[in-house]
Amino acid sequence: METARALIASNPDVLVVDVRTPAEFETAHIAGAINLPLDQVDTHLRQIVTDAGGRMLLICQSGGRARHAHKRLCDADSDGAWSVRFAWSPAASC
């Protein structure tokens, strides 16, 4: 979680996308984060890319779902124009 806070502090315009379930999100979440459960990422792919303006931080409880969401986003990106970071890792890119 400290890594996520540091990334947000240094990139205040980053879109924080929490890919946990709505119940997990309601229990606790980062202020300003949007909840987009992993099973809905494909459906809302274009919208989250547009909203992110090229930068987003994918988070979940342990990193597994964020990693899966990252793969889906990268697989769908035709030009690699945006970067994605996880809470559990300093950085990742497509």
Low-confidence residues in the chain, pLDDT < 70: 1-2, 54, 77-94
Q: Is residue 92 part of a domain?
A: no
How large is the C-alpha radius of gyration of the chain? 12
Q: Is residue 91 part of a domain?
A: no
Q: Which of 13, 85, 86 is nearest to 52 (CA)?
A: 13
Predicted TM-score (pTM) of this structure: 0.78
CA distances to 45, 78, 79, 89 from 59, rounded to whole Å, are: 16, 23, 23, 10
Q: CATH no. for residue 82?
A: 3.40.250.10
Expressed as residue numbers, the domain containing 6 is 2-86
Domains of the chain: total: 1
Q: Read off the pLDDT of residues 28-46 as tens digits, 9 standing for 90 and up.
A: 888 889 999 999 988 987 7
- The pLDDT > 90 percentage for the chain reads 17
What is residue 54's predicted lDDT score, i.e. its pLDDT? 65
Q: Is residue 12 part of a domain?
A: yes
Q: Is residue 47 part of a domain?
A: yes
